[in-house]
Amino acid sequence: MSVSQEKARFGLIVVGDEILSGRRQDKHFPKVVELLGARGLQLSWVEILSDDRAALTEALTRSFAGNDIVFCCGGIGATPDDHTRQAAAAALGLPLVLHPFAQEQITLICAENAAKGQGTADMTAPENVQRLQMGFFPQGCEAVVNPFNRIPGFFIKNHTFVPGFPVMAWPMLEATLDTRYAHLHNKEIRTEHSFVVYSMPESRITPALEALEQKWPSVKAFSLPSVGDGGGVPHIELGVKGEPVAAAEALEFLRDEALRLGARFDPPGQ
């Protein structure tokens, strides 16, 4: 089933030991949420993986088997700790081959650098042979244009693979959303409402949240408790998200239930 025939789900895979070790902070998750949200779309899941080929192959085998649209950031370079290209090929059972567009772009870059006195235009030189490794993608994939340094990423089976550098990855993902997936933009109008209640345990409102989702299947209810850290007053943010008319009805129901169960809309003492 193609993504045009069902509600699209988007997933994000971020690759890098440096993220898991804390040496670098992931910036892709909030940016992808922003890019999707601006187009009436939302992220369904995110996974952060190490630079481990077996783990990457296992994760990609799983995601290729589904229908989700997946963005994968990181690990497509040509150093020993880059394994994403090889893992994608292994997950699909395909060989890695030099993509003609990638070969063309890398060759042009080497020639331009040589004209500036930086390196050589001889593509048989060891350093250029190594650069060409970045153009080996799973057989049959499409190239994804990289406007920053022109070394492309690749696309195959609703998976878009881009570098880990935000300055490269984000324009590539944005262009992918606005071309390949433009037909999915703003297909579903959704709204979100919430309010804060005090002096009520979360366990007391939980049955009402469950009843709400039974009565309005197109609406999701949420409960975000705060224990009052930082000197604040303990409270719960209750809310709904979904189709606008149903969400409005569900919100009114949830407010009424909160009041019936003894919740306060103002902090104690006010």
Read off the pTM: 0.83
Q: Which pLDDT belongs to residue 269?
A: 67
Q: Measured between alpha carbons, how far is residue 9 from residues 47, 70, 270 in Å?
A: 14, 8, 44
82 Cβ partners below 8 Å, 6+ apart? 51, 75, 76
Domain co-membership, 84 together with 150: yes
Read off the CATH number of the domain in which 238 is found.
3.30.70.1130
Domain co-membership, 76 together with 195: no
Q: Where are the alpha helices (DSSP H) in the chain?
A: 17-21, 28-37, 53-64, 84-92, 100-115, 126-132, 166-179, 202-215, 244-260
Read off the CATH number of the domain in which 110 is found.
3.40.980.10
Domain membership flag for residue 244:
yes
Domain co-membership, 114 together with 169: yes
Domain membership flag for residue 2:
no
Domain membership flag for residue 106:
yes
Domain co-membership, 200 together with 143: no
Domain membership flag for residue 3:
no
Q: Which pLDDT belongs to residue 1?
A: 38
pLDDT tens-digit series, residues 138-147? 999 999 999 9
Q: From 184, 207, 223, give the residue that closes a domain.
A: 184
Q: From 142, 165, 184, give the residue that closes a domain.
A: 184
Q: Where are the alpha helices (DSSP H) in 150-198?
A: 166-179
Radius of gyration of the chain (CA): 24
Domain membership flag for residue 125:
yes
Domain membership flag for residue 4:
no
Q: Which pLDDT belongs to residue 149?
A: 94
Domain co-membership, 145 together with 29: yes
Domain co-membership, 52 together with 116: yes
Q: Which pLDDT belongs to residue 186?
A: 86
Domain membership flag for residue 270:
no
Q: Where are the alpha helices (DSSP H) in 180-241?
A: 202-215
Evaluate whether 12 touches 70 at the Cβ level (below 8 Å): yes
Domain co-membership, 125 together with 141: yes
Other CB atoms within a 10 A radius of the CB of residue 231 amount to 5
262: left (phi over 0), alpha (psi -120 to 50) or beta: left
Q: Which pLDDT belongs to residue 190?
A: 82
Token pair belonging to 135: 């153009």
Q: Which pLDDT belongs to residue 7?
A: 75
Q: From 133, 164, 184, give the residue that closes a domain.
A: 184
Domain co-membership, 48 together with 145: yes
112 Cβ partners below 8 Å, 6+ apart? none
Domain co-membership, 195 together with 180: no
Domain membership flag for residue 47:
yes
Domain co-membership, 203 together with 87: no
Helices 244-260 and 202-215, axial angle in degrees (round to 10) = 150
Q: Which residues of the chain register pLDDT less than 70? A: 1-6, 269-270
Domain co-membership, 19 together with 104: yes
Helix, coil or strand: residue 230: helix
Residue 35's domain comprises 10-184
- Number of structural domains (the chain) is 2
Domain co-membership, 196 together with 69: no
